[in-house]
Amino acid sequence: MQLAERSGLTGYLIAPDPAAPRLTRAVEGVDHTGNRTTIRVVEERPLTIFLNAQEIVTAMTIGDYPQYLALGFLRNQGMLADGEAVLGVDYDEELETVVVRTDGQTSYEEKLRKKTRTSGCAVGTVFGDMMEGLEGVRLPAVEVKTSDIYALAAQINRTPSLYLEAGAIHGTVLCQGARPLVYMEDVGRHNAVDKIAGWMLSEGVAAGDKLLYTTGRLTSEMVIKTAMMGIPVLASRSGFTAWGVEIAREVGLTLIGRMRGKRFVCLSGEDRLLRDADPESVAEEDGRHRRKSAEG
């Protein structure tokens, strides 16, 4: 199991490493003027996840933190129950597989047959009975300071990342107050969220005082995963879907989207916003990040 290591960046426990050789490759092409150019593009590789002896799914991923991805995927799909003992998480780089071993029996044939395609990318599937896991879920009513939102956006947007280096990727950041803790990236935003969930599970991190930041859309599945993780606040640079907003309101999730510079929109939990920062004092987003957002 990979342990969280403090990044050189202030506050992060895990941060992106855009210079990692396995995550991107140089590809030659031509630009709009017809001149030869070389750019870095994100790698994709398959990762097959087993729960005990049963193959569950093969996900396309950038390949970092495979153990966290496997644990988080199984946890967010309801295949690892609260308190269930995980005996081991074994990654075989050559076979590109992760085996999560527990002390219980594995029998998810019916659940696998019920899986439904959703609007997500990469592992954008939600099993048919996942909504049942939200029954009785009511997230803690945590106060959210707008000063924290602005501080988080400013630091995250300036963090060196694959998103800024190559685009074509999503990022998810686990935060506490104004401090970003763990920043994960992947080709699918659901993969990035699952890595966060896997890290929290393996490290025994509490969720009730955290905020989840994502570069992706605030869809129903993103809201469901956040609620199932017990995180009371979800924020994004991107927009909303109507079902995502509806579910957020039902479970008491504070939902904030379209975060750009001084601007944001809150469509759920607005009564929990503490407006302690003057928007006029917040700097506009720099042009480099706006260009990368449009490309991504």
Domains of the chain listed by start with CATH number: 144-295 (3.40.140.10)
Burial of 231 (0-12, 13-18, 19+ CB in 10 A): buried
Express as a percent the part of the chain with pLDDT over 70: 83
What is the number of other CB atoms lying within 10 angstroms of the CB of residue 2?
Answer: 15
Q: Do residues 175 and 212 make contact, with C-beta atoms less than 8 angstroms apart? A: yes
Q: Which two tokens stand for residue 292?
A: 């990368």
Confidence of residue 5 (pLDDT cuts 50, 70, 90): very low
Rounded to 5°, the CA angle 141-124-52 comes to 90
pLDDT at 23: 94
Helices (H) and strands (E) in the chain, counts: 8, 16
Whole-model pTM?
0.86
pLDDT at 113: 53
Least confident of 44-48, 91-95, 164-168: 164-168
Confidence of residue 121 (pLDDT cuts 50, 70, 90): low
Spatial separation of the C-alpha atoms in residues 277 and 31, rounded to whole Å: 43
Spatial separation of the C-alpha atoms in residues 48 and 56, rounded to whole Å: 8
**H or E segment to which residue 291 belongs:** helix 287-295
